[in-house]
């Protein structure tokens, strides 16, 4: 096995060597996406299942496309689960899939620790597609890939992660990965969304976006949800926007070459204004999406031991 | 009842200040005589005609343990535990009295439920089963329960355990009314507004794991409120399962002020912390057997709890034994219910994590589980004094045992200590002089 981990549950599972291998492999697969026939036979005969207990378009489609471009078969299981009305348990679904010979399962579930739990019940290779607010390791990897394409290595770069950090798995994964890559990461948001212990992930905490924006290289925006207002975490979304929305006026304070990123889906008019969302600086968001397929192809290939990677089909 | 002579054991009993090797004679279900001080290691007693003689040399002979906080799950969730299975687990853990919590289905807010639980205990014929009634109807926190009915049915205390009494006016009225009915009030301190959505202690580990946390203030703030209300009404209060350093501080201050407050702590809070959920001490991260309410908190909280035991701020060690079905605990972390077993592992954890490191002497530790709970509950038990009921447990402090699901007598298996090797093997348990446990075998009365 070329990678140091069998199951990808958290960015903490990933070593520096793993990162370089994934980045290099993803770069090779990026080329596949530009061919007229976007397919290589690397994982022919393998089956990849997406098991999503939470709605998702982006991540699920991205993984399915990645698997299909590698010629794997895909299976999509959308299970609805809430703490009140329990759907089928992770264990039951996992064992059903394993019985059908599924090689890899990409799991998204609202409870932290679910991917780890699944890996104990299932013999398939497990990829965490997001477990509650805990981790979303493939998002962090694709963000890293997209950033490296644009600005090279992250060492010494200043990256702001803005918004609903407390409840964000994307924030947890990207903050730790970017800071390991040598970036100065600053989490920016209101105190109610930035617990003081966040620093252990490798970031500084700041409450003022205006104070931090002037010298930063990357602004990574997180989606702000209406639920935060009803839970009294912010007085209102309007109040949130006053301090943290990336408007054209605010963006003007940043360096002209600043990169704007967002894991999606964007709430235009909330964390990012309509105007800014359409600017070239924000085009990195689409690069992230592209990167997603390439990085996920790389992961599936490396984790499922694919052969004949780049040979034309 | 035949007489019973326990020979050569080390008798440890805080209520009489006893800690020496001596013989213990039991007649008619009561402690008859302890060998008087003599030369050497202790004087032998002569066994009366027909007495059973058991050689307990090398073992500790103590009053049977009393658990002020046990969830028996009957009526309503007999799939997780019944009065009988809990009573057996209790005996195996050295407990001769357990107090059933009222959060059953139906809730023990009526005499009929109290009577049921008590009579099931008598039927099981193992540990003595006392029952606590509810403070509010349905544990809803809005109306006082039918206290006189609960008293008439034999309730030994009142608690809304499982829920904090959120309404301060209700807590105040319950404390006032309690002066007339004279039952101890045992309080589960949790402000539901502060704990809402919480899955574990709010701290660096919860931030790392992405779980919503329950801040220590959720417990300490309500403790502070209830201390004020106890002062206002003059009614003593007993704080259940203390988990936070801040709570220990509030209770310590209150005692210094002369407020009548007592407190208990669980063995799991004395031995485990929130970092276990991130994989410390060999646990699997997100192990649902670590999901308890109040949550396991930080190492500084755990140290404060041990300090609190040592300086007397915390009076009692009680298990909060909370069985849950395997399928419930196997589900994802957020869906899994809170609770851990505790009856069989309590003694071992206390010996290994409280006595061995030197926080309490053996006598002090046993007092927290015998004479102290007996005093708070007004029970004539937990003592080896002459005339006391012969509820006795005998354990071997040198042997160890491994916690496995086979050894667990509860119907449920949700113990965080599975796989641990614990000191102190319970060899005999007597209730009113009758052996209910002998070398691993149970004998219902």
SS3 A19: helix
As a whole number of angstroms, the distance between CA B22 and CA B39 comes to 11
- CB pairs below 8 Å between A and B: how many? 64
Nearest CA in chain B to A169: B210
Query: CA separation (Å) from A206 to A160, B119, B426?
Result: 9, 62, 56
Q: Which of B270, B283, B282, B273 is nearest to B346 (CA)?
A: B270
What is the arithmetic mean of pLDDT over B274-291?
A: 97
Q: Which of B20, B55, B16 is nearest to B41 (CA)?
A: B20
How confident is the model at residue A86, as a pLDDT? Answer: 54
How confident is the model at residue B187, as a pLDDT? Answer: 98
Residue B218: pLDDT band (50, 70, 90) is very high
Which of chain A's residues have a Cβ under 8 Å away from the Cβ of B284? 116, 120
Active site residue A44: no
How confident is the model at residue A310, as a pLDDT? Answer: 44
How confident is the model at residue A14, as a pLDDT? Answer: 97
How confident is the model at residue B37, as a pLDDT? Answer: 54
As a whole number of angstroms, the distance between CA B27 and CA B3 comes to 5
What is the arithmetic mean of pLDDT over B24-53?
A: 77
For residue B156, give the DSSP letter. Answer: -
Q: What percent of chain B has pLDDT over 90?
A: 94
How confident is the model at residue A80, as a pLDDT? Answer: 60
Active site residue A86: yes
How confident is the model at residue A307, as a pLDDT? Answer: 57
Check whether B63 has a pLDDT greater than 50.
Answer: yes
A116 touching B (Cβ < 8 Å): yes
How confident is the model at residue B389, as a pLDDT? Answer: 97
Inspect the interface and report whether the beta carbons of B211 and A120 lie closer than 8 Å: no
Residue A68: pLDDT band (50, 70, 90) is very high
As a whole number of angstroms, the distance between CA B196 and CA B379 comes to 36
- Shortest distance, CA A82 to any CA of chain B (angstroms): 8
- Shortest distance, CA A34 to any CA of chain B (angstroms): 37
Query: Of the residues B13, B23, B226, B320, which is catalytic?
Result: B320
Active site residue A46: no
* pLDDT, tens only, A174-200: 999 999 999 999 999 999 999 999 999
Inspect the interface and report whether the beta carbons of B286 and A117 lie closer than 8 Å: yes
Weakest-pLDDT range from A170-184, A299-313, B306-320: A299-313
As a whole number of angstroms, the distance between CA B289 and CA B333 comes to 10
Which of chain B's residues have a Cβ under 8 Å away from the Cβ of A86? 331, 335
Check whether B227 has a pLDDT greater than 90.
Answer: yes
How confident is the model at residue A1, as a pLDDT? Answer: 54
First to last CA, chain A: 24
Q: Is B139 exposed, middle or buried (0-12, 13-18, 19+ CB in 10 A)?
A: buried
Inspect the interface and report whether the beta carbons of A112 and B207 lie closer than 8 Å: no
Instruction: Write the residue in B204, B332, B334 that is nearest to A200 by C-beta.
Output: B204
How confident is the model at residue B36, as a pLDDT? Answer: 55
How confident is the model at residue A84, as a pLDDT? Answer: 33
Active site residue A39: no
Check whether B213 has a pLDDT greater than 90.
Answer: yes
How confident is the model at residue A121, as a pLDDT? Answer: 86
As a whole number of angstroms, the distance between CA B207 and CA A200 comes to 9
What is the arithmetic mean of pLDDT over B148-168?
A: 97
Nearest CA in chain A to B337: A83
Inspect the interface and report whether the beta carbons of B333 and A113 lie closer than 8 Å: yes
Mean pLDDT of chain A: 90
Q: Is B197 exposed, middle or buried (0-12, 13-18, 19+ CB in 10 A)?
A: exposed
Residue A313: pLDDT band (50, 70, 90) is very low
On whether the pTM is more than 0.90, the answer is: yes
* pLDDT, tens only, B385-409: 999 999 999 999 999 999 999 999 9
Supply the DSSP string of B355-393, one letter for each residue.
ITTTSS-HHHHHHHTTHHHHHHHT-S-S--STTSB--EE
B332 touching A (Cβ < 8 Å): yes
- Shortest distance, CA A194 to any CA of chain B (angstroms): 10
Inspect the interface and report whether the beta carbons of A111 and B204 lie closer than 8 Å: no
Supply the DSSP string of A33-55, one letter for each residue.
TTSSS----TTTT-EEEEEESS-
How confident is the model at residue A283, as a pLDDT? Answer: 77
How confident is the model at residue A285, as a pLDDT? Answer: 87
- Shortest distance, CA A27 to any CA of chain B (angstroms): 31
As a whole number of angstroms, the distance between CA B85 and CA B123 comes to 12
* pLDDT, tens only, A83-134: 333 556 777 778 888 888 899 999 999 999 999 999 998 999 999 999 999 9
Which of chain A's residues have a Cβ under 8 Å away from the Cβ of B210? 112, 131-135, 167, 169, 172
Inspect the interface and report whether the beta carbons of B210 and A134 lie closer than 8 Å: yes
* pLDDT, tens only, A146-165: 999 999 999 999 999 999 99
Q: Which of B117, B60, B129, B33 is nearest to B396 (CA)?
A: B60
What is the arithmetic mean of pLDDT over A168-179?
A: 97
Which of chain A's residues have a Cβ under 8 Å away from the Cβ of B335? 83, 86, 111
B106 touching A (Cβ < 8 Å): no
Structure tokens at B430: 């007597």
- Shortest distance, CA A170 to any CA of chain B (angstroms): 11
**Interface probe with B: pick from A83, A84, A113, most Cβ of B within 10 Å:** A113
Which of chain B's residues have a Cβ under 8 Å away from the Cβ of A91? 330
Q: Is B419 exposed, middle or buried (0-12, 13-18, 19+ CB in 10 A)?
A: exposed
Residue A79: pLDDT band (50, 70, 90) is confident
For residue A155, give the DSSP letter. Answer: T
What is the arithmetic mean of pLDDT over B419-436?
A: 97
B198 touching A (Cβ < 8 Å): no
B283 touching A (Cβ < 8 Å): no
């Amino acid at each position: 096995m070329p990678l140091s981990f069998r199951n990808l549950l958290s960015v903490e599972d990933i070593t520096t060597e793993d990162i370089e291998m994934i980045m290099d492999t993803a770069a090779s697969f990026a080329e596949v996406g530009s061919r007229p026939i976007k397919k290589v036979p690397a994982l022919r005969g393998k089956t990849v299942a997406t098991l999503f207990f939470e709605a998702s378009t982006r991540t699920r489609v991205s993984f399915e496309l990645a698997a299909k471009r590698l010629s794997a078969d895909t299976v999509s299981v959308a299970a609805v689960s809430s703490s009140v009305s329990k759907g089928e348990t992770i264990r039951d679904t996992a064992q059903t899939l394993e019985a059908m010979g599924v090689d890899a399962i990409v799991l998204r579930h609202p409870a932290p620790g679910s991917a780890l739990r699944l890996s104990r019940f299932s013999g398939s290779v497990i990829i965490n597609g997001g477990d509650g607010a805990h981790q979303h390791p493939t998002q962090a990897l694709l963000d890293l890939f997209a950033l490296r394409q644009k600005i090279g290595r992250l060492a010494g770069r200043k990256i702001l992660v803005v918004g609903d950090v407390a409840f964000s798995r994307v924030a947890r994964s990207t903050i730790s990965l970017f800071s390991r890559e040598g970036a100065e990461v600053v989490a920016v948001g209101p105190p109610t969304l930035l617990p003081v212990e966040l620093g252990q992930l490798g970031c500084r905490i700041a409450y003022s976006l205006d104070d931090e924006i002037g010298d930063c290289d990357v602004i990574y925006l997180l989606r702000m949800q209406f639920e935060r207002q009803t839970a009294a975490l912010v007085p209102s979304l309007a109040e949130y926007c006053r301090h943290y929305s990336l408007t054209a006026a605010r963006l003007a304070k940043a360096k002209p070459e600043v990169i704007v990123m967002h894991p999606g889906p964007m709430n235009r008019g909330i964390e990012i204004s309509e105007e800014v969302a359409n600017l070239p600086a924000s085009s990195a968001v689409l690069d992230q999406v592209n990167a997603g397929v390439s990085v996920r192809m790389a992961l599936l290939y490396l984790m499922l031991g694919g052969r004949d990677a780049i040979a034309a089909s | 009842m035949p007489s019973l002579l326990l020979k050569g054991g080390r008798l440890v009993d805080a209520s009489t200040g006893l800690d020496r090797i001596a013989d213990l004679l039991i007649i008619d279900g009561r402690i008859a005589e302890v060998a008087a001080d003599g030369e050497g290691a202790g004087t032998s007693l002569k066994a009366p005609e027909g007495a059973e003689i058991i050689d307990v040399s090398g073992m500790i002979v103590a009053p049977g343990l009393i658990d002020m906080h046990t969830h028996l799950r009957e009526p309503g969730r007999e799939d997780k535990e019944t009065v009988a299975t809990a009573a057996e687990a209790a005996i195996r853990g050295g407990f001769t009295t357990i107090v059933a919590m009222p959060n059953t289905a139906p809730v023990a807010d009526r005499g009929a439920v109290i009577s049921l639980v008590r009579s099931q205990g008598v039927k099981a014929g193992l540990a003595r089963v006392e029952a606590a009634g509810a403070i509010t109807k349905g544990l809803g926190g809005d109306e006082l329960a039918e206290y006189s009915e609960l008293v008439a049915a034999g309730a030994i205390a009142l608690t809304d355990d499982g829920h904090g009494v959120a309404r301060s006016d209700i807590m105040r009225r319950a404390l006032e009314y309690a002066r007339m009915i004279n039952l101890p009030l045992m309080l589960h301190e949790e402000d539901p507004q502060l704990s809402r959505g919480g899955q574990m202690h709010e701290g660096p580990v919860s931030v790392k794991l992405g779980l919503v946390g329950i801040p220590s203030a959720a417990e300490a703030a309500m403790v502070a409120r209830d201390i004020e209300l106890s002062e206002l009404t003059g009614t003593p209060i007993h704080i259940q399962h203390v988990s936070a350093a801040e709570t220990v501080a509030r209770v310590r201050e209150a005692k210094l002020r002369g407020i009548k407050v007592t407190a208990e702590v669980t063995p799991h809070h004395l031995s485990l912390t929130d970092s276990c959920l991130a994989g410390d001490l060999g646990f699997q991260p997100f192990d649902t057997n670590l999901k308890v309410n109040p949550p396991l908190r930080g190492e500084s909280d755990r140290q404060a709890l041990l300090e609190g035991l040592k300086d007397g701020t915390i009076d009692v060690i009680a298990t909060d034994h909370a069985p849950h079905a395997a399928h419930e605990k196997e589900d994802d972390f957020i869906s899994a219910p809170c609770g851990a077993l505790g009856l069989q592992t309590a003694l071992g954890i206390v010996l290994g994590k409280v006595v061995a490191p030197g926080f309490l002497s053996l006598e002090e530790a046993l007092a927290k589980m015998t004479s102290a709970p007996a005093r708070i509950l007004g029970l004539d038990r937990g003592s080896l004094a002459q005339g006391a009921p012969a509820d006795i447990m005998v354990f071997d402090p040198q042997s160890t045992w491994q916690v496995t699901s086979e050894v667990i007598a509860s119907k449920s298996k949700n113990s965080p200590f599975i796989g641990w090797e614990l000191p102190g093997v319970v060899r005999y348990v007597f209730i009113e002089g009758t052996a209910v446990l002998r070398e691993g075998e149970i004998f219902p009365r």
